[in-house]
């Protein structure tokens, strides 16, 4: 039976030595519980909304996007449930086996990459649908999307299991509540390359999402659309949220800076990245077609009211000198 190892911060490239774990505040445990529960509930709510409105999306034009959306939300849900369970265990026990750390790290890489890759494919799919509307029925079908989702999932899984095959290593991270690749002070070339591949894949997915969304929005503006586009509104917000949440973590992992300060910085970046999986479902909950049209009508009514107020004020200013000649 594998022995439990007490967590510590100053790890070397060899086997970790036993030492006193850092004090863990109750606020850290409370934040982990909150993000896990709130994220799980949010993703389940978004999935239920999609299930209720699936008839609207089952048309050939939106079926691929619906499938990608479900894949993204399932990846977010799995990340909250599985990773949250591991994190809570380490929060409460501060002891782990190397096998537990390997499994935790594998899930961290897999559920970290999948939402980024799926979000990128969603942006590309919408870009093709908007810029090449007559070609997309042959270029993008449900069968194609299923193959792409399976391929990207397999890609993320292969990268995640490489340390289990002795290509790179997973290690406990500050403050002893999560396991990941050696992104600070890598010991071997494999550790460096794995961290670089993870960061470059994530940053490439974000960059391609931005580029695709910019092209899509430019096409919609050129077409002078006067009504809100539900799918594009969701994609733009998802891309912005992903860039804001994931960029600090990916850049920190890319830099691979040594020292305790770098460990603390990447932990803060991880906290920010975890909010991406919480905010994703709320994009679909809030940016639905009914909500968008309600906001659009309210904004349109306010603009009309403002114009009426300006017209009334101008009329009064024009009428006032005529009623009071002495004011001239």
What DSSP element (H or E) covers 6? Answer: strand 5-6
Distance CA(213)–CA(131), nearest Å, equals 11
Q: pTM value? A: 0.79
CB 286 within 8 A of CB 237: no
Tell me what pLDDT residue 327 has.
46
Instruction: List the domain boundaries for the chain.
Output: 57-307
What pLDDT is recorded for position 17? 37
pLDDT of residue 215: 87
Q: Give the pLDDT confidence score for residue 18 in this predicted structure.
A: 36
Report d(CA 254, CA 275) in Å as an integer: 20
10-residue block means of pLDDT along the chain (328 residues)? 51 43 56 85 87 64 81 91 85 77 93 93 86 71 89 95 91 84 82 92 93 85 64 80 91 81 87 87 73 64 56 52 48
The listed CATH number (3.40.30.10, 1.20.1600.10, 1.20.1070.10, 1.10.1740.10) that belongs to domain 57-307:
1.20.1070.10
- For residue 320, the model assigns a pLDDT of 47
Cα–Cα distance for residue pair 266/272, rounded to 1 Å: 10
Q: What are phi and psi of 53, to 5 degrees?
A: -105, 20
Q: Considering only CA atoms, which of 100, 77, 278, 244 is closest in space to residue 172?
A: 100
| Residue 212 token pair | 């695709």
Q: What is the dihedral of CA 261, 263, 265, 267, to 10 degrees?
A: -150
Cβ partners under 8 Å of residue 25, min gap 6? none
| Nearest CA-CA partner of 47 in 277, 285, 229 | 285
Closest of 30, 216, 23 to residue 130, by C-alpha = 216
Give residue-wise pLDDT tens across range 27-58.
567 777 888 888 899 889 888 888 877 665 55
Calculate ∠ Cα 282-286-292, nearest 5°: 150
Residue 103 confidence (pLDDT): 92
């Amino acid at each position: 039976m594998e022995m439990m190892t007490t967590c510590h911060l100053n790890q070397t490239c060899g086997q970790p030595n036993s030492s006193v774990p850092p004090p863990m505040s109750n606020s850290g445990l409370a934040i982990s519980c909150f993000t896990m529960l709130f994220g799980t509930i949010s993703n389940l709510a978004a999935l239920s909304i999609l299930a209720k409105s699936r008839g609207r999306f089952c048309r050939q034009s939106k079926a691929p996007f619906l499938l990608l959306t479900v894949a993204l939300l399932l990846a977010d849900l799995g990340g909250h449930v599985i990773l949250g369970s591991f994190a809570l265990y380490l929060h409460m026990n501060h002891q782990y086996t190397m096998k537990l750390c390997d499994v935790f790290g594998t899930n961290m890489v897999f559920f970290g990459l999948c939402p980024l890759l799926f979000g990128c494919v969603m942006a590309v799919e919408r870009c093709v649908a908007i810029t090449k509307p007559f070609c997309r029925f042959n270029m993008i079908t449900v069968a194609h999307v299923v193959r792409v989702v399976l391929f990207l999932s397999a890609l993320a899984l292969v990268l995640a299991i490489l340390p289990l095959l002795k290509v790179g290593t997973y290690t406990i991270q500050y403050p002893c509540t999560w396991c990941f690749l050696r992104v600070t002070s890598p010991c071997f070339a494999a550790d460096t390359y794995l961290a670089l591949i993870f960061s470059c894949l994530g940053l490439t997915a974000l960059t391609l999402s931005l580029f695709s969304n910019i092209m899509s929005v430019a096409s919609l503006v050129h077409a002078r659309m006067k009504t809100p586009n539900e799918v594009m509104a969701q994609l733009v917000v998802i891309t912005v949220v992903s860039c804001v949440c994931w960029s600090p973590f990916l850049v920190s992992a890319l830099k691979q800076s040594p020292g305790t300060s770098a460990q603390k910085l990447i932990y803060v970046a991880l906290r920010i990245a975890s909010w991406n999986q919480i905010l994703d479902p709320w994009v679909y909950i809030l940016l639905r077609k009914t909500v968008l049209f309600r906001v659009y009508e309210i904004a349109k009514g306010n603009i009309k009211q403002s114009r009426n107020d300006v017209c009334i004020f101008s009329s009064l200013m024009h009428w006032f000198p005529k009623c009071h000649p002495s004011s001239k």
